Amino acid sequence: MRILVVAGARPNFVKVAPVIKALKQTGRAEVVLVHTGQHYDYSMSAAFFEELFIPAPDIFLGVGSGSHGEQTARILSTFEEVLLKDPPAAAAVVGDVNSTLACALAAAKCGVPVAHVEAGLRSFDRTMPEEINRVLTDALADYLFTHSPDADENLRREGAPEERIFLVGNVMIDTLREYEAAARARDVAGRLGLQAGGYAMCTLHRPSNVDDPGTLRTVVQILTDLQSECPVVFPMHPRTRTRLETFGLADVLLEQKNLQAIDPLGYLDFIGLMATAALALTDSGGVQEETTALGVPCLTLRESTERPVTVTLGTNAVVGTDPNRILAAARRALNGDWPRGILPEGWDGHAAERIAAVLCAERPTLAPRKPIMSRVT
């Protein structure tokens, strides 16, 4: 059967890599990789394809940047053309970016079954564009592949049919486990003059943190205060760098002797840097999961998380953007006063295999059906 796998942005590439591999290994699927072009520069796109051995996209939509409406509309229109030209057996979308929603909507309207990898995540904060993308994509999907039991419960509360929900585990951890050794061997910390276990790293990109000058100024002050107690390395998302420059805050970071503001890192370097950090500060959902898997303390600079399992079981704490609260939590983590965390169910490196088993099961079509699995095995 012919299955389209869609990716558009940096977080997507990490998730589709094991899914593509697992689908091909079944011997029952022709996999067509569609790259929407939502992220298109080297650091945000091409580097991931090279490092994770993702095959070159079979179809590149080249939508580029733009407002949410512009970008979503372009993806919807161009992906619809792909579907109408040669309808696949299914379209698999991952995560919660604009590409996820636009391609799910196009597929649903074209009568193509939609599989959503990482379904059921909820922050319950509709001010987040990602939350809107998640809710709508799940409403459209025929196959809801979840990464933890709380995601299953979210879907049930929203009325998702039980037969569409599949608890398969976390595909991001599939990729992490496959490449962790190679990432550590790159010794990124050493190349930056940092001692393993002796520094904090920071990632920021969400509009709530970087688009408001007051909030971004507060975050910069937090990093300035923290670097006086511990070295800080800050790989900067292009969006974040632009906002720092626009708001006149870039020079403030550059003036700090114990803070390194660097260009975005490829996947292996990023994981290698995270794996030996004493602490991560982030607004990224993926980093919350990866730090839990790596046992690294994580402070989420948001008021909510769509990944509560990283708090209840893992190493994550949601701390908002209050400087006193963040610095107090950071000091506890740096002093070793932090939960060690445990791995949630199904975060075992085999989630993609379970997804492939569902999608490639022997049957006439990919129409909704009784579940092959309702829990991780």
The set of catalytic residues is 205
Whole-number Å distance between alpha carbons of 133 and 130: 5
DSSP 46: I
Cα–Cα distances (Å) from 95 to 82, 134, 194, 259, 339, in that order, read 21, 8, 33, 31, 27
Whole-number Å distance between alpha carbons of 356 and 58: 20
Cα–Cα distances (Å) from 152 to 47, 164, 287, in that order, read 33, 10, 21
Query: What angle, rounded to 10 degrees, do the helices at 238-246 and 213-227 form?
Result: 100
Radius of gyration of the chain (CA): 20
Helix/strand/coil for 35: strand
Q: Please, what is the end-to-end C-alpha distance for the chain in angstroms?
A: 25
3-state helix, strand, coil in the chain (%, to 5): 45, 15, 40
Q: Is 185 exposed, middle or buried (0-12, 13-18, 19+ CB in 10 A)?
A: exposed
